[in-house]
Amino acid sequence: MPIWKQLSLCLFILALGVCGWVYLSPAAGPTLVGLGVPQGLVSMVAPSSQAGDGKGQAQGGGQGQGRRGGGGQQDILVAIEPVAMGVINDRLNAIGDGEAIEAVTVMPQASGMVAEIAVKSGQRVEKGDIIARLDSEEQVILRDQAAVALRSAKEKAESYGNLQSFSRLEVLDAKIAEEQAQLQLTTAELNLKRRDIVAPITGVIGIVGVNIGDNVTTTSPIVTLDNRDRLLVDFWVPERFAATIKTDMPVEATSVSRPGQQFAGKVEAVDSRVDQASRTIRIRARIDNPDDVLRAGMSFNVSMRFPGDQFASVNPLAVQWDGEGSYVWQIVDNKSFKKRVKIIQRNSDKILVDAELKAGDLVAVEGLQRVREGGAVRVAAPDPKAPEVAVR
């Protein structure tokens, strides 16, 4: 092929490539205009929209469809969301069991037959009230015998003391006999008193477990007695709260038996050690029961409030990862900056992170693939029909 034909073919292919470049590349038109190619010639090849962009770029320095950065590159379009603040470890919920603040199982102090029952189930008694009596005929006789023996010993001691015919040793023996008789009477009266089964505390009688005529011993339960003016609720909490919970801190409790009703109370005691198997610590709360609507043995849902720990809260889409860990793109003055974050807690709609971010800071949540450190960005308006908004 002649040389002039080869040159013509090369020029034709080169012209065709330039035309394709101008037609397909948005940056080609402004570049050729900057190199001195007439705008009219470029407009004959480039699409009308690109030609207009080239003119705007040449005359306005970045106005048209989007703002242009240095070197002819278009700004990255991103969507943003403000950073909020989230709180964790500010509330504790646990399940606990209630018990009366005072509860005893009453047992007799002597063996014998039940002769009388003075109370009934559900009755409120005061400390010292008679609950039941055992048969006491034998103890009455022994008491009377001891009383007679004491009177005899007293008369003998007085006679020996008034008469000079008795030696000092005989008078002393008479006084010792009087004292022994007094001790025997005291013992007899104590045994008789123990035939009465009395309430050791103020409270409410449970179900009476014996009947008149039953023979009981000192290990036979007669009745349960509960002081339920206040209830103690034991519950277990994670060990991280061991140093946070103190006595007299307020608690709120709800019971299945009283839905929708809350009972106020305070922390009564904190256990001295953490259970190694469950890694929890036992807390005891005291709950007032002025209306007597709660019972020992009920289950309670106990809640406590704490100041908690505050962390930045971001959209899950904002968190990215690289070889060094997780990060987010913070948008400041239409530029992107990488902020390293440490994930504290994941929720369905937000992630709490430990980072140098404060409430109101803006982070990118979409369009993150082309974002670079310090790069220029355009912020998409929330409404598709709204104009672009600038970030400041």
Q: Which CATH number belongs to the domain containing residue 135 in this structure?
A: 2.40.50.100
Residue 344 in domain: yes
**Do 342 and 283 sit in the same domain of this protein?**
no
At 155 the pLDDT is: 85
State the residue for tokens 């007899």.
188
| Separation CA 363–CA 349 (nearest Å) | 15
The answer to whether residue 258 is domain-embedded is: yes
> How many contiguous H segments (helices) and E segments (strands) does the chain have?
6, 22
- Residues 203 and 237 reside in one and the same domain: no
Same domain, 233 and 271: yes
Verify that 268 and 319 share a domain, yes or no.
no
Per-residue pLDDT of the chain (392 residues; tens, 9 = 90+): 677 677 777 777 877 777 776 666 666 666 666 666 666 666 666 554 444 444 434 333 333 334 444 444 567 888 899 999 988 877 888 999 999 999 999 999 999 999 999 999 989 999 999 999 999 999 999 999 999 999 998 888 888 777 766 777 887 888 898 899 999 999 999 999 999 999 999 999 999 989 999 999 999 999 999 998 899 999 999 998 888 899 999 999 998 888 888 899 999 999 999 999 999 999 999 998 888 888 888 999 999 988 878 899 999 999 999 888 999 999 898 888 999 999 988 888 899 999 888 898 999 998 888 888 888 888 887 544 433 433 33
> Does the residue 182 lie in any domain?
yes
End of a domain among 258, 283, 307? Answer: 307
Domain assignment present for 149: yes
| Pair 349, 272 in one domain | no
Residue 70 lies in a domain: no
Instruction: Give the CATH number of the domain where residue 349 resides.
Output: 2.40.420.20
Q: What is the C-alpha to C-alpha distance for residues 54 and 63, in angstroms, rounded to an integer?
A: 10
Measure the CA angle with vertex 354, ends 349 and 355; round to 5°: 105
Same domain? 344 vs 290 = no
Asked if the structure places residue 66 within a domain, the reply is: no
Q: What share of the chain is helix, strand, coil (3-state, %, to 5)?
A: 30, 35, 35
Tokens of residue 157, six digits: 């001691």
Q: What is the pLDDT of residue 309?
A: 82
Same domain, 201 and 243: no
Final residue in a domain of this structure, among 216, 242, 277: 216
Residues 351 and 323 in one domain: yes
Tell me, yes or no, whether 289 and 330 share the same domain: no
Query: What pLDDT, on the 0 to 100 scale, is given for residue 96?
Result: 92
Residue 37: the pLDDT is 66
> Which residues span the domain enclosing 231?
93-99+222-307
Contact at 8 Å (CB) between 367 and 78? Answer: yes
d(CA 252, CA 246): 15
How many C-beta atoms lie closer than 10 Å to residue 321's C-beta? 8
**What is residue 253's predicted lDDT score, i.e. its pLDDT?**
92
Q: Which residue in 351, 346, 347, 339 sits closest to 314, CA to CA?
A: 351
> What local confidence, expressed as pLDDT, does residue 46 receive?
59
The number of distinct structural domains making up the chain is 4
Domain boundary among 265, 290, 307: 307
Question: Is 392 contained in some domain?
Answer: no
Same-domain status, 210 and 116: yes
Question: Does some domain include residue 68?
Answer: no
3-state secondary structure of 96: strand
